[in-house]
């Protein structure tokens, strides 16, 4: 076997979007690199074959055992998934280090090609975020942004500070599976498997609210209007539609929102208009729940990119999401697979329109299939990762050489 690829990230069974992302990314990186092991250094709650759960954020020097393990494995490339909360050390007072430990880690990994994939890069950066991204890009060989707007906005942000824009930023979109697409003829079987056929006589057509239940995923925007929307759809088309809300809470801090959202669904359920299906949004089950819906509503008030949207794209499901909202808006415009709303009434109109226009649903779904097959499938993304690894290794052959990737505009 050739030298391994080592990923550093949170990892399942942790209920974390980055952990789930890393698990899927690893699967397809491994398929693209059959002659290399793809190993993971995770936080202490990670599990699985080829996973080393040694990243302990209770330690001020948490990076030391990580660097020691990387030295032992001597990888071809180190591929790090970054989210601020994953690497924030807090002292006994609860004061954080602003990810200084992460930058220290990058400096100590200087003997190996390093690729950092940050999952939160806002269009308008706070000062601490701008400072971190500048230093991160200085230390890493390649930095992977998810969306083009993040890169061209960075040029404007850094330019106003009289900073040079890093030249080593590569755009690699959030990957999406292409192997979980069920045909219309398979939906009755999936509904039966999920136990939905007898659920409150759930109608054949479903609008989905699917994913983690938390304060930024504003299910209440739709549920507060659903009874009226349901009536308008029925009056206009003569077809009965129900609302399927599915997911669960992962952060105890969002308990109040969870209880509020679920109680609103239960009120609609008692009127025969909706159903709540509780499950952990992970693995194949996540896709199956989405698959039984005709289209998905993804309301969010804070998002730079979304694992939920990646699954919507995987299934070629038409969707409606809030705007302007960072990566959600960018991918909706690029894919031409969804509708955007900025007000409650606009959302209501879109839901009614999409429910009553099968041709529009088909067109949006076709656009998403093209976008998946040509732009964001994991097979394509894995090849882009391979290119990033090659760029990082090539730059290492000449002391002082930096990876040079053209600016967006």
Domain match, 372 and 388 both: no
In 1-91, DSSP assigns E strands to: 2-8, 36-43, 51-55, 77-82
Note whether 317 and 290 are same-domain residues: yes
Per-residue pLDDT of the chain (409 residues; tens, 9 = 90+): 899 999 999 999 999 999 999 999 999 999 999 999 999 999 999 999 999 999 999 999 999 999 999 999 999 999 999 999 999 999 999 999 999 999 999 999 999 999 999 999 999 999 999 999 999 999 999 999 999 999 999 999 999 999 999 999 999 999 999 999 999 999 999 999 999 987 667 899 999 999 999 888 899 999 999 999 999 999 999 999 999 999 999 888 889 888 989 999 999 999 999 999 999 998 999 999 999 999 999 999 887 778 999 999 999 999 999 999 999 999 999 999 999 999 999 999 999 999 999 999 999 999 999 999 999 999 999 999 999 999 999 988 777 788 999 887 8
| Whether residues 387 and 370 fall in one domain | no
Please report the pLDDT score of residue 199 as a whole number: 62
Residues 102 and 223 in one domain: no
- How many CA atoms lie less than 13 Å away from 285 in the CB half-sphere? 12
Residue 402 lies in a domain: no
Three-state DSSP state, 80: strand
**Whether residues 88 and 211 fall in one domain:** no
Q: Does 409 fall in a domain?
A: no
Residues 289 and 383 in one domain: no
Note whether 194 and 242 are same-domain residues: yes
The answer to the question of residue 327 being in a domain is: yes
Instruction: Look at residue 248 in the predicted model and tell me its pLDDT.
Output: 93
Regarding whether 170 and 217 lie in a shared domain, the answer is no
Question: Looking at the structure, do residues 139 and 128 belong to the same domain, yes or no?
Answer: yes
Please tell me whether residues 66 and 150 are part of one structural domain.
yes
Does any domain span residue 406? no
Q: Minimal CA–CA distance to 255: which of 222, 214, 220, 217?
A: 214
Q: pTM here? A: 0.94
Judge whether 293 and 194 are in contact, CB under 8 Å: no
Same domain, 62 and 120: yes
User: Which structure tokens are listed for 198?
Assistant: 């007898």
Q: What was the pLDDT predicted at 304?
A: 72
Find the domain containing 20 and state its range. Answer: 2-175+378-396
pLDDT of res. 200: 63
- The answer for residues whose C-beta is within 8 angstroms of residue 202's C-beta and 6 or more apart is 191, 196, 242, 244, 275
In a domain, 405, yes or no: no
Q: What is the pLDDT of residue 215?
A: 84
Which pLDDT value is given to residue 354?
98
Instruction: Quote the CA–CA distance of 166 and 161 in Å, as a whole number.
Output: 13
How many domains does the chain fold into?
2
pLDDT score recorded for residue 25:
98
The count of C-alpha atoms lying within 13 angstroms of the C-alpha of 357, restricted to the half-sphere facing its C-beta, is 13
CATH of the domain at 143: 3.40.50.2000
Does 403 fall in a domain? Answer: no
Is the domain of 278 the same as that of 384? no
The answer to the question of residue 401 being in a domain is no
Residue 326 lies in a domain: yes
Tokens of 326: 């960072």
């Amino acid at each position: 076997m050739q030298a391994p690829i080592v990923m550093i990230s949170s990892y399942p069974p942790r209920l974390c979007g980055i952990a789930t992302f890393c698990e899927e990314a690893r699967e397809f990186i491994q398929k693209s690199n059959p002659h290399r092991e793809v190993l993971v250094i995770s936080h202490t709650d990670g599990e699985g074959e080829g996973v080393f759960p040694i990243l302990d954020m209770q330690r001020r020097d948490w990076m030391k055992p990580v660097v020691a393990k990387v030295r032992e494995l001597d990888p071809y490339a180190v591929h790090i998934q970054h989210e601020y909360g994953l690497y924030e050390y807090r002292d006994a007072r609860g004061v954080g280090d602003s990810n200084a430990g992460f930058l220290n880690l990058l400096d100590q990994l200087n003997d190996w090609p390093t690729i950092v994939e940050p999952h939160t890069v806002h269009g308008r950066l706070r000062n601490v975020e701008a400072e971190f991204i500048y230093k991160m890009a200085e230390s890493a060989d390649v930095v992977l942004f998810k969306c083009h707007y993040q890169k061209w906005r960075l040029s404007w942000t850094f330019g106003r500070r009289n900073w040079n824009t890093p030249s080593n930023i590569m755009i690699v979109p959030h990957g999406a599976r292409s192997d979980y697409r069920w045909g219309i003829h398979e939906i009755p079987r999936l509904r039966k498997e999920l136990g939905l056929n007898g659920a409150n006589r759930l109608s054949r057509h479903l609008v989905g609210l699917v994913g983690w239940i938390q304060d930024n995923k504003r299910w209440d925007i739709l549920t507060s209007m659903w009874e009226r929307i349901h009536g308008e759809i029925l009056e206009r088309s003569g077809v009965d539609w129900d609302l399927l809300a599915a997911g669960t809470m992962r952060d105890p801090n969002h308990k109040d929102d969870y209880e509020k959202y679920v109680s609103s669904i239960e009120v609609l359920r008692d009127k025969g208009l909706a159903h709540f299906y509780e499950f952990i949004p992970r693995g194949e089950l996540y896709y199956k729940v989405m698959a039984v819906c005709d289209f998905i509503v993804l309301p969010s008030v804070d998002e730079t990119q979304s694992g939920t949207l990646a699954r919507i794209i995987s299934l070629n499901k038409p969707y409606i999401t809030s705007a302007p909202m960072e990566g959600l808006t960018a991918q909706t415009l690029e894919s031409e697979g969804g509708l955007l709303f900025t007000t409650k009434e606009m959302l209501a109109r879109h839901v009614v329109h999409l429910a009553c226009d099968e041709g529009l649903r088909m067109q949006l779904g076709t656009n998403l299939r093209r976008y998946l097959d040509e732009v964001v499938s994991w097979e394509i993304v894995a090849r882009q990762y391979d290119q990033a690894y090659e760029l990082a290794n090539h730059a290492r052959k000449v002391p002082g050489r930096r990876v040079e990737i053209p600016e967006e505009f």
